[in-house]
Amino acid sequence: MKRHDRLPGFRDFFPDPVPHPDLARMAERLHLFSSWRKVVTRYGFREYDGPPLETLELYKAKSGAEIVHQLYHFEDKGSREVALRAEMTPTLARMIAAHARNYKKPIKWFSIPQCWRFETTQRGRKREHYQWNMDIVGEPGIVAEVELLTAVATFFKRLGVGPDIVGIRVNSRKVLDVAITKAGVPRDKFEKVCVVVDKLDKIGAEAVKCMLTEDLALPSQTADVILQCLQASSVDDLAKAVGLSQSDPAIAELKTLFELCTAYGVGDYLDFDASVVRGLAYYTGVVFEAFDRKGELRAICGGGRYDRLAELYGGEKCQIPFCGFGFGDCVVVELLKDYGLMPDASPSVDVVVAPFDATMQPHALKVAASLRKDGLSVDAALT
Ligand code: HAM
């Protein structure tokens, strides 16, 4: 790498015309951000922001080993261990833990932070990305998840991405929790089990079983029950695998979620998928991930319920239910390009004002000023 090269996994955003097709277009980023903003405005969410640098401890507390491993972290000049923001959720939980009492619940907030993770770069995965976050705080019921899932589907619809192109896989960690508890696994192993099980797609059932039995010391029979849960093809199947009745709250909740999303008109986007558990340690209930149906790209977005994160930062008084999602800007751009759905969004000017010669310059500027005052976009020729 040469001294002035761009770091791998980072992007320069060029205005059109972009010098090379592999470079990122600023116009695409703006198009995406404005589409996200249009959706959140329709859902009545308020925008918040936080610092791009946080204490290392904030992420270590609950994000999970994978994210912690990917953190850009260092000691600052005040000898504090700090990390670049890898995701927005810990920042949001910290902000709410400190100020929840000042807000009427439910709190509906969104943000579009830039995040940094030292990942292996590949199509749709960089070392920095922008991530649209929508989170609902203070609503324990499944209606919160429904609101978020319909917002994701509404975004896809707006951009012409139909349910034939993308889907949203939904599952609930609560059911897995019941299965694990029934099998006698100590409560404190639950998150570790979820993190292992999240690798199923990448490493296969054999290797997952091996990790469950060897790394987490679970009995082989328990590992089998867990793997059986992950293979369930419907909510009913899952209930059967775990030995739960249809009226069990975890099962009934999932069914209601699908019914409500269908009533909203976005049921076609949703699939039940028992193998989705998500890699982040803090999720406690429904979890979901959007994916391309051709299976060529990494996850488009991901989220779920995390009812115990704020408690970690603010203590027992902060037992506040949360759920939300993060939707990155990289995979969706690849998808929109693949399907020819990325419009040429680069802004154009209404008028060009050019002086005939230097003596006409003051008059040209006067004309430009007057047209700009009237709201037109004017390109004033400089020579
Ligand atoms: P996550 O699954 O780690 O969840 O990331 C969410 C989304 O961010 C991914 O689906 C992807 O679109 C994007 N993303 C993540 N890493 C990268 C990367 N290296 N390059 C490009 N895009 C990436 C979270 O971050 C949770 N905090 C989401 C959440 C919000 N859960 C509740 N509220």
**Nearest atom of ligand 1 to the alpha carbon of 90:** 27
Over the stretch 358-376, which tens digit does the pLDDT of each residue have?
A: 999 999 999 999 999 999 9
Residue 313: its pLDDT value, please? 87
Over the stretch 279-327, which tens digit does the pLDDT of each residue have?
A: 888 999 999 999 999 999 999 999 999 999 999 888 888 899 999 999 9
Cβ atoms of 351 and 335 within 8 Å: the answer is no
Average pLDDT over the chain, rounded to an integer: 93
Residue 229: its pLDDT value, please? 86
Is any ligand 1 atom within 6 A of the Cβ of residue 330?
yes
Q: How confident is the model at residue 347 (pLDDT cuts 50, 70, 90)?
A: low
Place of tokens 């507390």: 61
Q: Which of 129, 136, 139, 334 to mutate to test the pocket of ligand 1 (most atoms within 8 A of CB)?
A: 129
pLDDT at residue 89 greater than cutoff 90: yes
Is any ligand 1 atom within 6 A of the Cβ of residue 129?
yes
Is any ligand 1 atom within 6 A of the Cβ of residue 302?
yes
Higher-confidence position of 270 and 277: 270
pLDDT at residue 346 greater than cutoff 70: no
Over the stretch 163-220, which tens digit does the pLDDT of each residue have?
A: 999 999 999 999 888 878 887 788 888 888 888 888 888 899 999 999 999 999 888 9
**Nearest atom of ligand 1 to the alpha carbon of 278:** 2
Q: How confident is the model at residue 345 (pLDDT cuts 50, 70, 90)?
A: low
Higher-confidence position of 62 and 22: 22
- CA dist 312 and 370 (Å) reads 58
Over the stretch 212-269, which tens digit does the pLDDT of each residue have?
A: 999 998 889 888 888 888 889 999 998 888 888 888 999 999 999 999 999 999 999 9
Residue 353: its pLDDT value, please? 96
Q: Model's pTM, two decimal places? A: 0.93
Is any ligand 1 atom within 6 A of the Cβ of residue 111?
no
Start-to-end C-alpha separation, the chain: 39
**Range 121-137 average pLDDT:** 97
Which residues contact residue 162 at a Cβ distance below 8 angstroms, ignoring those fewer than 6 apart?
A: 156
Is any ligand 1 atom within 6 A of the Cβ of residue 172?
no
What is the distance in A from the centroid of ligand 1 to the CA of 225?
29
**Range 141-170 average pLDDT:** 98
Is any ligand 1 atom within 6 A of the Cβ of residue 135?
yes
